[in-house]
Amino acid sequence: MFLLILFCGLSFCSGVQNTKVQRETSGNSFLWIIAKQLARLEDKVQDIQKQYNSKDKEIETIKEILQSKKFDAVKTPTVVFKARDLRTDVNLIGKRLVFPNMIVNHGSGYNRRTGVFTAPVSGVYLFSLQLCPELKASIHMHIKVRKSGHVIGDLNFKNQIGRQCVSANGVDFLSRGEQAWIYCTSASSSGDVIVIADHGNSFSGVLLHT
């Protein structure tokens, strides 16, 4: 009887011990799974952080590019002029045309006494000429650039129908100090060929880009 009781006691203790070991083993497995999930979550967080840093760098690069473009736009100075009303139209052949009345001269490039524009900065310039010839008068004018010798605008016209104005344009790159003006190549006579009183007679120019 005693031996039976002892055997039962030992069996019970063994069962309790096995259950404890199983519980400990099961608990360790659960903790391992949790640790594994946390590790994966940490990896995902790091990946997201890397993506965020990459996007942040892209945004900064775009900002720098935009700032650079903005700076480029700002650094082009304002150079523009317009002069009108011819000083004279007598004996113009082989001479420069002078427009003495200034409408605007931002950059101080145009000389109203000589009729010559001197580029204050290097860049691409657009020039425009408008003239109002006398009836039955013919004129041939060039917009010329001194250093290069380019003829960048050509106005050739004979007025046969009454009062009207004609124009010519020219674009060229001028270095700083280079000059442009209007030159009379030919005219129908040495006398009056242009309506002096007409404010439509003008010479203008503007800096497009440096």
Q: What is the pLDDT of residues 65-116, one digit of tens each?
A: 877 766 555 678 999 999 999 888 778 888 899 999 999 999 999 999 999 9
Asked if CATH classification 3.40.50.2300 holds for the domain at 80-209, the reply, yes or no, is no
Q: Is 176 exposed, middle or buried (0-12, 13-18, 19+ CB in 10 A)?
A: exposed
* Domain range annotation of the chain: 1-75, 80-209
Residue 135 pLDDT level (bands cut at 50, 70, 90): confident
Say how many CA atoms lie within 13 Å of 137 toward its Cβ. Answer: 24
CB atoms inside a 10 Å sphere around CB 109: 21
* Residue 133 DSSP class: B
- Partner residues linked to 139 by β-bridges: 157, 187
Nearest-angstrom CA–CA distance, 81 and 157: 25
The predicted structure's pLDDT at residue 114: 95
- Partner residues linked to 170 by β-bridges: 127
Q: Model pTM?
A: 0.63
- Partner residues linked to 180 by β-bridges: 117, 145
CA distances from 8 to 3, 13, 22, 201 (A): 9, 9, 21, 128
